[in-house]
Amino acid sequence: MIDIPSLFDLGFYLLIYAFFGWVAELCYYVAVQRRFVNRGFATLPLILSSGVTMVVLILALPTLAGNHVLGFIATLVIAAVVDDMFDWLTRRMGSRLRWHTDRIRLFTGKPMDIFWSAVIAALYYIVYLMVHPIMMGLRLLIPAFLLKLIVIIGLVLVAVDFISVVFVVRTGIVGRIESEQMNFWQRFAVKMTARITRRLERAYPGIEHVSPEEEKSYVFAKGLCWDKLIWVFLLCALLGDMIEMVFCRVTGGTWMSRSSVLYGPFSVVWGFGAVVLTVTLQRLAGKDDRHVFLAGFVIGGVYEYLCSVFTELVFGTVFWDYSHMPLNIGGRTNVLYCFFWGLLSVVWIKMIYPRLSDLIEKVPAVAGKIITWFIIVLMVCDALLTGAAMVRYNLRPVMPEAGDPVARWIDARYDDAFMEERWPNMKRTDGPNMLTDELPVAAEAADGAQGE
């Protein structure tokens, strides 16, 4: 059985490996450019993309059972996709700044970029194999209360630091407040924002300030922005659910719900998959179809694998199992479906997304914003309710009696019959997971009670 780390364990590893990533980039710039560069997006000495990459590897690689070839391929794709997503996030944080980063990109079609991406992936894989066991031993030496304190303080500092940087790059407060009109807190804010601005300009020499005239030319969801990706997520989640329902009807002869949430025909796997493909494959839009196909082949396969790992480790459930199919990888994905991901990527990047993007940008600005926020609120509520129902579904075999009013309401509204009708292919893993990691203890307690 896979040793499942707790949420606080993952928080600890996130901070530790984010710091290691910051040290690695610092050493690189000192060695190559002979200067100190804080390459963290925020002021803290952390490269969060490195921390997130290692956390995903810590969860995913144990499921590959020591297959180093597949482990390295997964590491290569995970590191590249996480870096691309953080790069996009950085560029979208500030409406007054344009970010120009010089990171190596895997999905560009350039041989040297692929080579250096493989080198970086090899370093990640070596850290996982050789350094992470040491970090696991170090974590065991930290008392539980101290671990929680470290993680909570660290994540709070990250949040405050992140918010302060976003405030600086989005408001441009420096120079907008006259010195003779400032009180103490305004002077403090100006000093802090000026310091952050200078650090960002040193760390990202190519950074550009957007002119006020350029800011005023507003088009809803222009470019690859938050609003557009939210619409892409919703539309593709809806379309993906319909496609899978038709596929199940054609291949199995039955209509089957393929939605990921309790309410609405939305497949979260398809929605997030479309977002990941859109962000990571944009640089290949002008390349030959084979480049897009190969990138989509590996990204789609790794993404589907990670989705299976996520649902099993977090909720203790399995929604699909390809063990009966040839060339499957742990039953979580297979070569045939990777082939479909490659074809889908070509159709999406070359044909569908450009036209869909133009249609989204024609939505009136005010109506577009209202609909976007409505979508966000709706999907967040649906996801939270679904997660709560999943947790109770896994706890009921060992804890049939709910201990609080909310759990009792969930049991009454979303009992086992409802859940199994909603997701006919869903299976319990009969093991612990992150959100219900007390299952073994609960089971022992239930057995003891029955014995008495």
Task: Quote the crossing angle between the two packed helices 365-395 and 226-252, to the nearest 10°.
Answer: 50
**Quick one: tokens of 444?**
């022992």
Q: What is the pLDDT of residue 52?
A: 93
Last residue of a domain, one of 216, 237, 257: 216
CA–CA dist 1, 65 (Å, integer): 11
With a CB cutoff of 8 Å and minimum separation 6, the contacts of 219 are 361, 365
Please say which residue of 182, 216, 250 terminates a domain.
216
Flag whether 301 is in a domain: yes
Residue 98: strand, helix, or coil: strand
221 in a domain, yes or no?
Answer: no
By DSSP bridging, strand 427-428 and strand 317-318 are antiparallel
- CB-based contacts of 146: which residues, under 8 Å, 6+ apart? none
Q: In the structure encoding, which two tokens stand for residue 111, read together?
A: 């041989």
Place of tokens 């199994």: 420
Domain identity same for 200 and 288: no
Question: For the chain, how many residues are written?
Answer: 452
Measured distance CA(161)–CA(141) in Å, rounded: 29
Please, is 57 exposed, middle or buried when counting C-beta atoms within 10 Å of its C-beta (0-12, 13-18, 19+)?
Answer: buried
Query: Which tokens hold the place of 355?
Result: 């036209």
* Per-residue pLDDT tens listing for the chain (452 residues): 556 788 889 999 999 999 999 888 888 878 877 777 666 666 778 888 899 999 999 988 888 877 889 999 999 999 999 988 888 877 776 555 555 556 667 777 678 888 888 899 999 999 999 999 999 989 889 898 999 999 999 999 888 888 777 776 666 554 444 444 555 555 666 666 666 666 666 666 555 555 555 455 567 878 888 889 999 999 999 988 888 888 777 877 777 777 888 888 888 888 999 999 999 988 888 888 888 999 999 999 999 999 888 888 877 777 777 888 888 888 888 888 899 899 999 999 998 999 999 999 888 888 888 999 998 999 999 989 988 888 888 777 777 777 778 888 888 888 888 888 888 777 766 655 665 554 444 444 444 433 44
Which pLDDT score is estimated for 294? 92
Does some domain include residue 400? yes
Q: Is 330 left (phi over 0), alpha (psi -120 to 50) or beta?
A: left
With respect to residue 443, please indicate whether it lies within any of the assigned structural domains.
Answer: no
Residue that finishes a domain, picked among 184, 216, 248: 216
Does residue 1 lie in a domain region? no
Q: Is residue 342 part of a domain?
A: yes
Q: What's the DSSP call for residue 62? A: G
The per-residue pLDDT for 439 is 47
Same domain flag for 204 and 235:
no
* Residue 140 burial (10 A CB sphere; 0-12, 13-18, 19+): exposed
- Pair 84, 185 in one domain: yes
Query: Does one domain contain both 248 and 198?
Result: no
> What is the domain count for the chain?
2
Residues 157 and 247 reside in one and the same domain:
no
Q: Which helix (H) or strand (E) holds 325?
A: none
**Is 450 a domain residue?**
no
Contacts of 1 (CB under 8 A, 6+ apart): 431
Which one, of 389, 392, 379, lies nearest residue 264 by Cα? 379
* Sequential DSSP letters for 419-436: HHHH-TT-EE--S--STT
Expressed as residue numbers, the domain containing 273 is: 226-433
**Same-domain check for residues 194 and 296:** no
pLDDT, position 435: 57
Q: Are residues 201 and 234 in the same domain?
A: no
- Do 264 and 135 share a domain, yes or no? no
Residues 6+ apart with CB under 8 A from 6: 434, 437
Looking at the fold, whether 245 and 394 belong to one and the same domain comes out as: yes
Query: Among all chains, which residue has been given the structure tokens 């997660």?
Result: 387
Q: What is the CA radius of gyration of the chain?
A: 24
Q: What is the pLDDT of residue 2?
A: 59
pLDDT of residue 446: 40
98 and 120 share a domain?
yes
Closest CA relative to residue 296, chosen from 347, 258, 334, 223: 347
The confidence score (pLDDT) of residue 174 equals 46
Residue from 262, 192, 232 nearest 360 by CA: 232
Residue 258: which residues within 8 A CB-CB, separation 6 or more? 240, 241, 244, 245, 248, 267
Assign 328 to helix, strand or coil: strand
DSSP state of 334: E
Within a domain: 447: no
- Sign of the dihedral defined by the CA atoms of residues 115, 116, 121, 122, in that order: positive
Q: What angle do CA 238, 277, 375 make, to 5 degrees?
A: 35
Residues 346, 408, single domain; the answer is: yes
Tokens of 54: 């290692």
Q: Give the pLDDT of residue 123.
A: 92
**What does each C-alpha distance from 444 to 4, 6, 441 come to in angstroms?**
19, 20, 5
Same domain, 239 and 285: yes
Residue type at 402 in one-letter notation? A
Give the residues across from 297 on adjacent strands: none
Cα distance between residue 204 and residue 39, in whole Å: 8
Alpha-carbon span 417 to 368, nearest angstrom: 39
Q: Which of 41, 75, 81, 49 is nearest to 61 (CA)?
A: 75
Global pTM?
0.79
Residue with tokens 């930290």: 142
Tell me the torsion sign for CA atoms 22, 25, 27, 33: negative
